[in-house]
Structure 1
Amino acid sequence: MPAASASLAPFQGLWIPLVTPFKDGAVDHPALAALTTTLARQGVSGFVACGSTGEAAALDEAEQLAVLDTVLGAAQGLPVVMGLSGYHMGHTAEWVTALAQHPLAGLLVPPPHYIRPSQQGLLHWFRTLADASAVPLIVYDIPYRTGATLTTDTLLALAEHPRIRAIKDCGGDTAKTQALIADGRLAVLAGEDAQMFSTLAWGGHGAIAASAHWHAPHFVELVDLLRVGNLPEARRVWQTLRPWVEACFAEPNPAPLKAALAHAGWMRNELRAPMVAASSALTQRLQTLPGLSPR
């Protein structure tokens, strides 16, 4: 894996996009703090608060800030990235400015959802938010959620901005992934858990992986093995993790993950509508996987 420049260095390794535990409809801050502290001791590189795994769309702004404060307080000094989304340029830029009051490592920013702007519109969106931000941006390329596809040329143009430093790659385009890795100006973080192995083997910088809430030390080992090019051992670790990764995304995220974490005693199996709990069949399947037992 190529050595990263100093500007890319913070965005490497295994990052956890944290779930948001709920209890009787409210955010369960003690459960969130305990989960964050535990993961911080297992070798992960950092956390994402209020991403899609964290059901941020179901949290109001006050709840999002409270979640962020809990994660920052429990992260044991590890870097924390805040997720955000929107489609109103002015409101989103104001939110970016407000977040400058918090000690963040970066912001995870997708294209504006639903609108489907042109590539020029997407350039304007990200550059405007980067100009407003006090911290680096991670571009969240996830067209199946936003309806907007970022082309390779657009991403390479965004890489010219001094505060656009990484990409969470969920675009599903292997040629684009490899082009960005070869270009080297953006830290490429696998955003689809099933693509972790290939992205890192090509020279990607790390992953933002929801499934790594469980078996985090093994995911950290996988990233480290691929970083040093030990493919035989990395394949062995990946094959043990694949059934778990596949089960985590057999139904919409984070329902399977929350079912597993609830079974292990970390939180209640509670989501906010329109998200619903994992099916009983998948819940039973998750409970048969190795290593999933109550704490």
Structure 2
Amino acid sequence: MSDFSGIWIPLITPFANGAVDHAALRALVRRYADAGVAGLVALGTTGEPATLDAAEQDAVLATILDAAQADANAADAQRRPLPVLVGVSGNHTASMLARIEQLNPLPIAGVLIAAPYYTRPAQDGIVAHFSALADASAHPVVLYDIPQRTGVRLELDTLLTLAAHPRIQAIKDCAGSLDTTLALIRDGRLQVLAGNDLEVFSTVCAGGSGAIAASAHWRPERFVALYRALTEGKLDEGRRIFHALVPQIQLAFAEPNPAPMKALLAATGWVRNELRLPMTRASAALTERLAALGETLPR
């Protein structure tokens, strides 16, 4: 069984002159491995996978897996390869089954799967969809409940039904329902990862397993320190760290993700400030605020 606890970063996809910047992507993987994050998410929403063709998606995943493994094999590294979750999205079950089959031979930690978007199926259809994908997967499945993007939420009864599947092990919780979050934590069968970054503190304090946090691209060590403080019972320390991170988290989502985080990373030389349409760069006003944040805080 995989362990999905800790701070996971849903990696951006860097671009340079319109093409994927694999050198920058490798540098980011090394950066986050050094920061002590628990794992990475490849091809999640933050990685703009909808703008990548199939070959680009495969190349991005290959680079991330290779960099995660290479870092663990380095002479000065005494750690295991950084686990990598892979986002699998869509609303056609058969096509997603084919993608799952492609991923089965790869050394990944699991697959992160959202509800079928746009079609808004009934809850019975959602259960059948996830069950078919989990049956076909050789890797653990992490559910992704994000109704503001998919148009349909995973109801609590649906989640509890899916929790009985032996390969469905965790959930990225973005639904914004405290009742559901607490019910899943109390149930105990799914590891609950905060997906809304401002809920990292409350989720971990309530007994959740960690977070998949896009805003942790910047100052990842502080997010790792937050998680450790809370899980070690150091509430005052965790509260201080979290309060210091709140302005960063708020700026990271002041405009559509991942534009703000790309602007912040670009301001400090990690990537170029490029996105693919229909996503656009952060506004000039927000970019100025992010650049000021980058100048006043350590990397």
Provide the TM-score with structure 1 as the length reference. 0.95
Report what 1:270 is aligned to.
274
Secondary structure at the residue paired with 1:81? Answer: strand
Query: Identity of paired residues, percent?
Result: 56
1:251 aligns with 255
1:231 is displaced (CA, Å) by 1.1
Contact in 2 for aligned 1:264/1:294 (Cα 8 Å): no
User: What TM-score do the two structures reach when normalised by structure 2?
Assistant: 0.94
Letter in 1 for 2:50: A
Please say if residues 265 and 294 of structure 1, whose CA atoms lie closer than 8 Å, have aligned partners that are also in contact. no
Give 1:104 deviation, angstroms: 0.6
Does the 8 Å contact 2:204/2:231 carry over to 1?
A: yes
- For 1:175, the aligned partner's letter is D
Which of 228, 231, 241 is equivalent to 2:232? 228
Counterpart selection for 1:212 from 216, 235, 246: 216
Per-residue CA deviations over 1:187-234 (Å, capped at 9, x if unaligned) read: 000001011111111010010001111111110000011112211111
Q: 2:13 aligns with which of 8, 15, 20?
A: 20
Match of 2:283 among 269, 279, 285: 279
Counterpart code for 1:137: V
275 and 83 in structure 1: CA distance in 2 versus 1, 3 angstrom threshold: same
Match of 1:240 in 2: 244
Q: Distance in 2 between matches of 1:291 and 1:230?
A: 29
CA–CA distance in structure 1, aligned partners of residues 198 and 53 of structure 2: 31
1:46 alignment partner in structure 2: 39
Equivalence for 2:99: 95
Partners in 2 of 1:237 and 1:293 — Cα distance? Answer: 13
CA deviation after TM superposition for structure 1 residue 115, in Å: 0.5
What corresponds to 1:4 in structure 2? Answer: none
2-structure distance, mates of 1:230, 1:66: 41
Aligned counterparts of 2:166 and 2:195: Cα–Cα separation in 1? 22
Give 1:1-295 correspondences, 5 Å limit. 7=1, 10-75=3-68, 76=71, 77-289=81-293
Report the Cα distance in structure 1 between the residues aligned to 2:291 and 2:273, rounded to whole angstroms: 14
Runs of 4 or more above 2 Å deviation: 290-295
Distance between the aligned counterparts of 2:116 and 2:83, measured in 1?
25
**Residue identity in the other structure for 1:152:** L
For residue 222 of structure 2, what is the amino acid of its counterpart?
H
What 5-or-longer segments of structure 2 have no aligned partner? Answer: 72-80
3-state SS of paired residue (1:78): coil
Q: Distance in 2 between matches of 1:227 and 1:63?
A: 38
Q: Secondary structure at the match of 2:138?
A: coil
